Amino acid sequence: MDTLQLLISGIANGCIYGLIALGFVLIYKASESVNFAQGDMMILGAFLAIALINTNQADLPFLLGLAIAGLSLGIFAYLLDSLLLRRVFGQPQLTMVILTIALGFVLRFVIGAIWGHDPVGLESPVAGQRLSLGALSVPVIDAVIIGTTVFLVAVLWLFFARTRLGLAMQASSQNQVAAYYMGIPVKRVVSLVWAMSGVMAAIAGVLFAAKGAVEPAAGLVFGIKAFAAAVIGGLGSLPGALAGGLLIGIMEPFAGRHLPSHLAQVFPYALMLLVLIIRPSGLFAQVRQKKV
């Protein structure tokens, strides 16, 4: 029963890693670069939601606050791509990587300057409640996290498989030049992908803050752990990102229980190294050569 308890808590954590990793992969596919500020965007979303929802702050209804925080992060990411990152387009990939790392630092300090450096929790309607199934007792928030993730993944899948814009996003990432020739406004489509991953970051941040507490510095650790998850899954694969996140999330509490704590800390990165050595393109890589 104990194992099952750990498993469910691990899956919930893994869902949050997975959501951030999805953001990494979306941006990687659209811009062919990694957004190392993804974790900090998540924390920004969390703090925005806290400022909007908590009773000693703006005291808005939970869902309204969540919607505003998600929308704000979406707009933020859209403008980030169309105003700032577009300017380094055509430069070596490293330029964009360094730019997003720097952006992460800036975000972290701005968040700290506005909201302080102490951990804050988000007040949620389900705080402290537990769901009892026989001897098993699960925090309701864990169930909410898992349910939200399943729902978001289903929506994303339908969006990419069925809608015109979703297909255009796939097309732009598979062959940007051809998409451009077909009359797809590639620049706007790429900025919209950034917006989507901003919204995902905000939702992940809200879920995470509702489960425990957030502090500005958490963005770095979270970002890198989710990046490891994306690499484990294969950096170009959406199902892979989710699977990588779940894998890390599930194995972490078990490692924490059975290994000395300093070893448990390095566990996700050791797993990433192992995957890189055995299957360099990740567990779920989408690799095929172009036919000539």
Partner 1 sequence: MNPLLTVHNLETSYGPVMALRGVSLSVPEGSIVTVLGGNGAGKTTLMRTLSGALAPRKGSVRYRSKRIDGMEPDRLVREGIVHVPEGREIFPFMSVAENLRMGAYARRDRSGWAAELELVNEYFPILAERRRQEAGTLSGGEQQMLAIARGLMARPALMLLDEPSLGLSPVLVSEIFTIIRRLNQEQGLTIVLVEQNARAALEVADHGYVLEIGRIVMDGPAERLMASEDIREFYLGRTSESSRGRRRWRRRKTWR
Tell me which stretch binds partner 1 (CB under 8 A): 9-17, 44-52, 168-176, 220-228.
Answer: 168-176
Work out how close the CB of 178 gets to partner 1 at its nearest, in angstroms, rounded to a whole number: 4
Work out how close the CB of 167 gets to partner 1 at its nearest, in angstroms, rounded to a whole number: 6
101 is an interface residue for partner 1 by CB under 8 A: no
Nearer to partner 1, 64 or 165 (CB): 165
Cα 228 from Cα 185, distance rounded (Å): 32
Work out how close the CB of 248 gets to partner 1 at its nearest, in angstroms, rounded to a whole number: 26
192-231: which residues touch partner 1 (CB under 8 A)? none
Q: Binder to partner 1 among 174, 274, 279, 280 (CB under 8 A)? A: 174
Nearer to partner 1, 177 or 278 (CB): 177
Q: Binder to partner 1 among 175, 263, 274, 280 (CB under 8 A)? A: 175
Nearer to partner 1, 189 or 226 (CB): 189
Closest CA to 256 of 216, 248, 241: 248
156 is an interface residue for partner 1 by CB under 8 A: no
Beta partners for residue 130, in sequence order? 139
Angle of the 140-162 helix axis to the 164-174 helix axis, nearest 10: 80
Cα 140 from Cα 145, distance rounded (Å): 9
97 near 33, Cβ under 8 Å? yes
Cα 9 from Cα 12, distance rounded (Å): 5
Closest CA to 214 of 48, 11, 15: 48
| DSSP structure class, residue 182 | T
Tell me which stretch binds partner 1 (CB under 8 A): 46-54, 71-79, 163-171, 267-275.
Answer: 163-171
Work out how close the CB of 168 gets to partner 1 at its nearest, in angstroms, rounded to a whole number: 6
Q: Binder to partner 1 among 62, 105, 159, 180 (CB under 8 A)? A: 180
| DSSP structure class, residue 81 | I
| DSSP structure class, residue 100 | H
Nearer to partner 1, 149 or 173 (CB): 173
Residues near 138 by beta carbon (within 8 Å), at least 6 away in sequence: 5, 8, 130, 131, 132
205 near 214, Cβ under 8 Å? yes
167 is an interface residue for partner 1 by CB under 8 A: yes
For partner 1, the binding residues (CB under 8 A) are: 164, 167-168, 170-171, 174-175, 177-185, 286, 288, 290-292
